[in-house]
Each structure stands twice: as structure tokens, then as C-alpha cells.
Amino acid sequence: MNRAAVIVTIVLGLSAAAATAQQSPGPTERRERPRQRDRGPQPGAGAEGQRPPRLPIITALDADGDGVLSAEEIAKSAESLKKLDKDGDGKLSAEEFLPARPGGFGGPGGPRTGGPAGREPGARRTPGGPPDGPAGPPDDRAGAGEAAFESSPLPKDDAEKKILAVLDDMDKNARRGMMSVPRDDGRYLRLLAESLNPKNVVEIGTSHGYSAVWLCLALRTTGGKLTTFEIDAQRAALARANFKRAGVESLVTLVEGDAHEEVSKLKDPIDLLFLDADKEGYLDYLEKLLPLVRPGGLIVAHNMNARQADPRYVKAITTNPQLETLFVNLGSSDIGVTLKKR
């Protein structure tokens, strides 16, 4: 049995064990969980629509954060795990493995590890309390009248309703094999963009256009434009088709080619720069485009975690006194938000 097959066998075994443990009834009957919004069938959901537990090892191997281990990710699994072996002893200790979980790098100037202050990683918040509040018992459930801290996009007009419908279709039916951000990350991008009121947004890494359409939800109200770069011709074609059916094609300029070369042609000030391409290339993009980012502008970088982020980029955005960086964990991925100070 080859190495990749062994790793997959271990992953599946651990996943099954964790799922069995989580589904076993406790000594006392649990109160019924309050009904939450219907998200439709979820990838990997069981017969009752419940998502199996997402183990840290899945997060460590899932390069695109889509919750599915593709053939390419399985083939590279040994390489991914080897990168976590910081002391080079050929073994993977808990201390080396845990930083790969959502929460970041740790260390001075880097993202936090674990949960919010005063809470252990993975601890549940007290039902009804703030997201960063003290943790409550594992079996606690929010009761009637208590906040669920969940929300869904609500269309303001028919145009937004149409765009959200396209995004929903892309999320459910066209995600497999695409290096797209998770749904909540897309919503976060829209929130940042609309509050920033940008006129010029630049995206590195279009894929099939999922994150770009989220950005266009903001740009259609701000009067701004998006320039997005994609090196793969097939993905670029899919993105153009998605822009058209969402009705945002007039807001987007898609540049097909190597962004490392193409970005040098940009001349206009940038209000928001979104990086979601080759992680080892983030530093090059930063060095070439930071002079164009206006004071008060934002640089948003996806996959900012110990396994994927380039330490050189992390150092560049956390040691420059002209920049202010915050690392945000949205559950399934990590984002670095960098402000170019005024």
C-alpha cells in the first residue's frame, strides 16, 4: 500500500471514530437543539443532514478549504504533513500539529492560536452570550429567545436576489475542483468592500469567479470596478460565464495570464487588494502592489494559517510600521486583513 493510501486510511478511520463518539448518547438526555436556518444539503452530510465532525487532520490536508480531499490533495498529503514536522525528527507531535488547525501561527506579531481570550480552543460559548464570552458546558443549547449568532444574506432588491441565487448555485453545484473561498469568506469580502466604498478593487486568483461575484455585490452600489487575474484559461472562461449570468460582467475586467507579470501594468490607486493565488507568491504581489494601495486601503490575504501561509509574507505585513494587520478566523479558513495606514 503506498503512502497516500495509508494516510487516507488513517484519516477515514479517525473520522469514523470521531463521528461514532460524537453520536453516542450521553448519560442524560440532551435538550433538543433549536431549529436553525435551512442551508440545504451540505457536502458530506449524513442521512439526517448532519455534517460529520471536521478533524484537524482534514483541515491540515484540505488545501482549498472546501471540506473535501481531492485526488491532488491526497497525492500531496505526505508532503503536507511533512511540512508540519518543524524539528525534522520524522514524527508529528501534538505541538507541531495543532497550529495547523484554524487559529493561526501564534508567536509575536502572528495570528492568535486557539479560541478567544479566556476560552480554550474548541470550547463552546455560553448560550446567549457574546461569541468571545466564557465557555459553557458542552451540552448547553441556546433556549427560546436567545441569540443563535447565525445569519443568512437577505436581498435588498431584485438585482441582489439574482446575484445571491447565482452565488448559491456556484456554492452548491460548481465548487468541486475550484480554488474558491468558503461562503462566509465571500460574505466577509462583500462586507469589507461595501464599507470601504472602493472605486478600484484588484483580485489575484479568480478561479471560477465566486469571490469576485461577492465583491461585485458591493461594487454595484459603490460605482467601483474589479480587476481580477487568472492564469488558467478554463477557469477564466467559467468565471466570465458566471459574471454574465450574475449580471455583473460590466463591473469586471478579467486579465488572463501570470499575475506576477501582468500586475506591473496596473497604474491606478487600489482601494482593496484581495490575494488568493499561489501562497509563495504573496510577498511578490505585496511588493509590487503596495505602492498602489492608497492610504486607508486594505490588503486581504486568504489562507493565512501555519500550513499554507508564506512566513516571509507574514513577516512583511506584521513588521512594517506603515501597516496594521489583523488575522481573522471564520471557522473553515483564516484571513489576514492589512490596513495601509494613513
pLDDT digits (tens, 9 = 90+) for 84-95: 766 677 777 666
Q: Which residues contact 99 (CB under 8 A, 6 or more apart)?
A: 84, 105, 106, 113, 305, 306
DSSP labels for 109-122? TS---SSSTTS-TT
What is the mean predicted confidence (pLDDT) over 170-195?
86
H or E segment and range at residue 193: helix 183-196
- pLDDT tens digit string along 123-150? 444 444 444 444 444 444 555 566 677 7
> Does the pLDDT at position 33 exceed 50?
no
Rounded to whole angstroms, how far apart are CA atoms 246 and 248? 6
State the sign of the Cα–Cα–Cα–Cα dihedral 46, 48, 51, 52.
negative
Percent of the chain with pLDDT over 70: 62
Highest-confidence segment of 61-75, 108-122, 259-273: 259-273
The dihedral over CA atoms of 252, 66, 283, 217, expressed in degrees to the nearest 10, equals 30
Residues 6+ away with beta carbon under 8 Å from 304: 104, 111, 314, 327, 334, 335, 336
What are phi and psi for residue 38, nearest 5 degrees? -85, 115
pLDDT for residue 256 is more than 90: yes
More confident: 65 or 217: 217
Dist. CA 206–CA 226, nearest whole Å: 11
CB-side neighbour CA atoms (13 Å) of 132: 3
pLDDT at 72 (0 to 100) = 74
CA distances 145 to 127, 132, 141, 203, 208, Å, are 11, 19, 12, 41, 40
Mean pLDDT to the nearest integer, 70-80: 76
Rounded distance between C-alpha atoms, residue 238 and residue 132, angstroms: 40
How many separate helices (H) and strands (E) can be counted in the chain? 12, 7
pTM value surpassing 0.85 = no
- Grid cell listed for 200: 478600484
CATH number of the domain at 158-340, out of 3.10.105.10, 3.20.19.10, 3.40.50.150, 3.40.50.300?
Answer: 3.40.50.150
* Domain locations in the chain as residue ranges: 3-23+35-100, 158-340
Per the model's pLDDT, the better-predicted residue between 32 and 235 turns out to be: 235
